[in-house]
Structure 1
Amino acid sequence: MTQPRLDVIAIGNAIIDVIGNCSDTQIEELGLSRGGMMLIDADQARTLYDAMGPAREISGGSAANTLAGLAALGAKCGFIGQVAEDQLGEVFTHDIRAAGIEFDVPARPGQPPTARCLIFVTPDGQRTMNTFLGASHLLPAEKLDAAKIAEAAVLYLEGYLWDPEEPRAAMRKAIAAARDAGRKIAFTPSESFVIERHRGDFLALIEEGAIDLLFCNEHEMATLTGTSSFEDGIAMLSDKVQVLVVTKGAEGAVALTNGERAEVAAQPIDRVIDTTGAGDLFAAGFLYGHVRGKSLQECLQMGSICASEIISHYGARPECDLAEYVNRRMG
């Protein structure tokens, strides 16, 4: 097996996050699922955007956010996703390349436009996400470069993109390419509603041994396993993947591998501003430690520290020198 040129290559939604503050009352008036994520169409996107107050536009997308964190820590990364030939597509392309991440999938002409996620943030920092997938769900399998996937130590897949048929086929092709090259495959199911739609597929991937590292939160694990018992869910999954990582919000996170179990508390911060991207950056910190050969406990600590940086400000991309931030907090 040749030495990997990249640490992580990811396939995910190429999205611009549009983030605005709102009240709890507005969440109810708009009929939104507080703290959750739902898919919306173009008309709903326009309606919600009109209802939003002053907003910030920041490049996002779950897997892309994870790569941004990895790159900030010093990892070499590549991204595979689809934007349209429009202004938001140009913004996304600029931002991800400026972060030092390789991205060479050509923009798609015509409609639909580049994806956007309208995020309403309540005073407690909770985010309610409403995603219009746009061009991102039209990523065809022929856009994949199997040789480039084989150059990465880890292929990271975002569950959000499993929903549309075209990118689902692309991700299956990528899994085969990574497996043929002897690389590791990491997967996050992304959200409970995605699991509800594709639970059979996800469980099949796990049962087949196609997933080496599985990232989920406690609610996603409950939906995936069908049990509300945290320990029972851990027991059902931990012997089917090489590494299982389960986050528990303010209660920290747990990871298991080869019978070893490690736990970490959430990092203390002065104030939670916006939880958007907390799971994405947790995955970034953990994966960085993993590809650098760190212990399970150290990987968890790095994930927790990265998540704490993200929830201390708006947006899902690091705003400080993340490598220095992690090094200082790791002690």
Structure 2
Amino acid sequence: MAPQFDVIAIGNAIVDLLAHVPDGFPEAHDVPRGGMVLIDSEKAAAMTRAMPGSEQVAGGSAGNSMVCLSRLGGAGGFVGKVANDELGDAYRRSMEEAGVQFIAAPLDQGPPTGRCHIAVTADAERSMATYLGAAGEVSEADIDDDMIRRAEMVFFEGYLFDGELPRSAFEKAAAIAHKAGKRAALTLSDVGVVERNRDELIRILEKHVDLIFANEDEARALFGHHETPAELAAEMAKLVPFGAITCSERGSIVYGPDQDATTVPAVAPVQLVDTTGAGDAYAGGFFYGFTRGKPLPSCATLGSVIASEVISHMGPRPVADIRQMAADRDLL
């Protein structure tokens, strides 16, 4: 049976609340600058009050990647949990309008739809406080065997790694994909995620993952005794056959069974406004090339093109015609 999807992602169905804030805002609200912290419903309410006029965007890391994949002309599916509430309806509608098939049924009982408060400081850095709500309820019951078999890849978002239910869902999906001769990918997402779950991450990477995405800090948290990105890539290759380590304005390093670790230059944005979603966009572009058998450096360049567009404005989704941008560089 021909694949229906290039990638099915399992991730946080999170509504992003974005706002520009004063420089000391992250520290004043106990949010790690440039990182992510999980918060409870009470803290979420306080953050909402502290960020009046926030822009609302259906986000979540893996969901953002699937939107980028779709806008390039790829076929993406998304397994994520929302509640049967107003934000949940808005999230599902937003994904489907972007051409991404939303697969999981909503929660009728339990916590409300999750949201992420994204505080953007003048240096374009984003600091995130996330209330998972319903998003953390993704489970094995949400994994449709037939849909996984009809995808080239299944993709898991590291932000969900703290939850046992979502981890089990990914393990089930990866096992189905591998049995069907397909591949599984994972993004590390956040240094804190890696530090809290290092041993379990290494187990799952060795057992289930064919392609890994990480930035330098996340990779270093996994392999702390290695300093350079090239050394980190060499360590990653012992666990996962394909990988990409992003290094901000210094580009990315990619490797594979037939590709020695190679540095691929970054694509400079027209202007730097908000780095929210840069890694997600990179993964979305990379997936488009990877599922079409393009060379890894081309996949990385495509990812960088899309990331450069996303960081040139507020919000984690592209607003320009990224397919035309990719075509102009002969990357499709």
TM-score by length of 1: 0.96
> Deviation at 1:140?
2.3
5 Å matches for 1:147-296? Answer: 147-208=146-207, 210-230=208-228, 231-258=230-257, 259-296=259-296
Conserved 8 A contact 2:249-2:268: no
Aligned pair count reads 329
Q: 1:295 to 1:86 in 2, by over 3 A?
A: same
Does the alignment pair 1:88 with 2:91?
A: no
Work out the CA distance in 2 between the residues paired with 1:58 and 1:309: 17
- Equivalent pair of 1:227/1:233 in contact (CA under 8 Å): no
Q: Give the C-alpha shift of residue 330 in structure 1.
A: 4.5
> Any residues of structure 2 matched to 1:310-329 within 5 Å, and which?
310-329=310-329
CA–CA distance in 1 between the matches of 2:56 and 2:111? 19
Q: Which amino acid aligns with 2:297?
A: Q
Counterpart contact for 1:305–1:329, Cα < 8 Å: no
User: Retained in 2: the 8 A contact 1:153–1:184?
Assistant: yes
**Separation in 1 of the partners of 2:300 and 2:138?**
32
Residues 41-97 of structure 1, C-alpha deviations (whole Å, 9 max, x = no match): 000001111111321000000000000000000011111110001111011000111
**Is it true that 1:307 corresponds to 2:307 in the alignment?**
yes
State the AA in 2 paired with 1:162. F
The one-character-per-residue Cα deviations of 1:138-163 (angstroms, maximum 9, x if unpaired) are 12211211111111001111111121
The alpha-carbon deviation at position 310 of structure 1 amounts to 0.5
How many angstroms does 1:28 deviate by?
2.7
Residue 122 of structure 1, CA deviation: 0.5
1:276-303 deviations in Å (ceiling 9; x for gaps)? 0000000111111111111111111101
What is the letter of the counterpart of residue 222 of structure 1?
Answer: R
In the alignment, the residues of structure 2 paired with residue 5 and residue 242 of structure 1 have an alpha-carbon distance, to the nearest angstrom, of 25
Kept in 1, the 8 Å contact 2:234–2:261? The answer is: no
4+ aligned runs moved over 4 Å, structure 1: none
Whether 1:57 aligns to 2:56 is yes
**Aligned mates of 2:134, 2:206 — CA distance in 1:** 31
Q: Does structure 2 retain, via aligned residues, the 8 Å contact 1:22–1:53?
A: no
Normalising by the residue count of structure 2, what TM-score does the alignment of the two structures yield? Answer: 0.96
Partner Cα distance (2:7, 2:171) in 1 = 17
Counterpart residue type for residue 266 of structure 2: A
Q: Indicate yes or no: 2:23 matched with 1:24.
A: yes
RMSD: 1.4
Structure 1: distance between partners of 2:5 and 2:28: 46
Alpha-carbon contact 1:13-1:81 (below 8 Å) kept = yes
How many Å separate the matches in 2 of 1:322 and 1:290? 17
Instruction: Report the secondary structure of 1:24's partner residue.
Output: coil
**Aligned partners of 1:93 and 1:207: how far apart in 2?**
33
Paired letter, 2:116: C
Instruction: Say yes or no: does 1:132 pair with 2:135.
Output: no
Q: CA deviation at 1:322?
A: 1.3
- Aligned amino acid, residue 298 of structure 1: S
Tell me which residue corresponds to 1:75.
74
Q: What amino acid sits opposite 1:144 in the alignment?
A: I
Q: Measure how far apart 1:26 and its partner are.
A: 2.3
Opposite residue 326 of structure 2, the aligned amino acid is V
Q: Is the 8 A contact 2:34 2:126 kept in 1?
A: yes
3-state SS of paired residue (2:24): helix
Q: Is residue 121 of structure 1 aligned with residue 83 of structure 2?
A: no
- Answer whether contact 2:174 2:183 (CA < 8 A) is retained: no
Tell me, which stretches of 5 or more residues in structure 2 are unaligned?
A: none
Question: SS where residue 87 of structure 2 aligns?
Answer: helix
Does 2:3 align with 1:4? yes
TM superposition shift of 1:228: 4.1
1:157 match: secondary structure: strand
Contact 2:38 2:131 in 1 (8 A): yes
Equivalent-residue separation in structure 1 for 2:195 and 2:80 (angstroms): 24
